[in-house]
Amino acid sequence: MPIAMAPAGKELLIRKVGADDKTKKHLQEMGIAEGSRVTLISSSGGNVIVIVKEGRLCLDRQLAGKILVA
C-alpha cells in the first residue's frame, strides 16, 4: 500500500520506491530506501510526515504515493 494510506503511528517497512533514479537516490540519502523502516506521523492535507531514523521528513502526496510499504 502507498505510505499515504498507511495507519499513523505504526512502524512501516518500505517495500518499493517507484520513482525515477534521481529521486530514488535523493530519497536514499535521506534514509528512505527499500528495506528501511519509517513511522508515519500524519497524512493530512497534501503532505505526508514520516519519522526516518531520528528525524522528521515531509513528503508531498504525489511522491508519497510512489513509496509502497508493508
pLDDT confidence of residue 45? 78
Q: What is the mean pLDDT of the chain?
A: 93
Range of the domain at 57: 3-69
The count of structural domains within the chain is 1
Please name which of 2, 22, 5 lies closest in space to residue 67, comparing C-alpha atoms: 2
d(CA 7, CA 40): 7
For residue 44, what is the domain's CATH number?
Answer: 2.30.30.90
Q: How much is the average pLDDT of 29-37?
A: 95
32 has pLDDT over 90? yes
pLDDT, one tens digit per residue, over 36-66 is 999 999 988 789 999 999 899 999 999 999 9
What does the pLDDT look like over 12-23, one tens digit per residue?
999 999 999 999
